[in-house]
Amino acid sequence: MSSFNQHTTGSEVAKALTSRSTGKTFIITGPSSNSIGGATAVALAHGHPKTIFLTGRNEAKISPVIKEIKAIDSAIDVVFVKMDLASQESVRRAAAEILAGGKAGVVHGLVNNAGVMCVLPYQETVEGIELQFGINHIGHFLLTNLLLPRIVAAGPHARIVNVASTGYVLGDLDMENYNFDNGKTYHPWLAYAASKTANILFNTYLASHLQDKGVEAFALQPGMLKRQTVPPTELYIHTRDDNSLASMTEAFKIITKKYEGKTPPSGDIQGDEKTLETAASTLVFAALDPGLDGRSGLFLRNCQPFPTEGYATDAERARKLWELSEKLVGEKFDI
């Protein structure tokens, strides 16, 4: 069991595990200011890595994070790479930029953090994929595979961190109908749950196929930010209207009906309440903690292993999702 918990901050984890980060190279997607990804990047700076790549759509939203990192350790080389996960062309261009720049000869940690939640109304990526599935899973699937040779090159205990959510328990992923009948049967929470189930299935496939190559993969629940977080993070923008299908009230209705009074496998809500700084802890823990060596494939919550439902870790379903993902990005990846 880890000594870290729900109330541990990301910087506390990073300071305790500097031997696993000093002089190394990390990539974090979606590290905007006032976000879990941004807090993770700042926390990781306390471990004095050599290089941190920060990918996102808007450099202006990431510039404050870069300044915070530099204030902690001016020697860290912080590289912004423009990338829109809703465009496969953009993902390919960003990966090419990272690979060609000479600063990512090896990548010790890739943190697939960026994501959207409960998007309303129904939207699609550039390639016509439901937006939550497209950004939360397909974009990261493509990026991870394009960068994988450099992650493998980093040697033992290189890490791929997939930020999922215990919200996956709201609903499964229908691989035959990931676009919800082109939006006709779309529900923002069920689409979110499907995308988070995909994150865990993806993690399952990576863990089983990379264990002999020295790369470990972990999925996780970062935590649920307290409603009084000011200003509210962009992730929760669609959930703030209590009369919306994307409201937290609607999520509770779905989960109450689904589990009929039983305790849902997502755990207690109070155990998930976090600030940005404490939400970052499990991401940093997953990227660095030596106690996770050789334990690839775990799902983490509050810096501890946490059980998952079988449908999210089933090896055959993970294989089917991999094949669907290859089809949707138009490229096969033999790992």
Q: Which residue from 102, 84, 105 is spatially nearest to 93, judged by alpha carbons?
A: 84
The residue with tokens 């109450």 is 256
Active site residues per annotation: 192
Q: CA-to-CA distance for 288 and 26, rounded, in angstroms? A: 11
User: DSSP label at 232?
Assistant: P
Q: CA-to-CA distance for 85 and 300, rounded, in angstroms? A: 24
Q: Which residue from 278, 276, 286, 252 is spatially nearest to 266, judged by alpha carbons?
A: 252
Show the tokens assigned to 111.
Answer: 């943190």
3-class state of residue 25 by DSSP: strand
The residue with tokens 């996102």 is 56
Residue 159 backbone phi and psi in degrees, to 5: -125, 140
Show the tokens assigned to 101.
Answer: 């720049």
Q: Which residue from 94, 10, 87, 121 is spatially nearest to 329, judged by alpha carbons?
A: 87
Q: CA-to-CA distance for 196 and 251, rounded, in angstroms? A: 14
Q: Where are the alpha helices (DSSP H) in the chain?
A: 10-16, 36-45, 59-72, 88-100, 131-133, 140-153, 188-210, 248-259, 276-288, 315-329
Task: Give CA torsion, residues 58, 61, 63, 68, to 10 deg.
Answer: -150
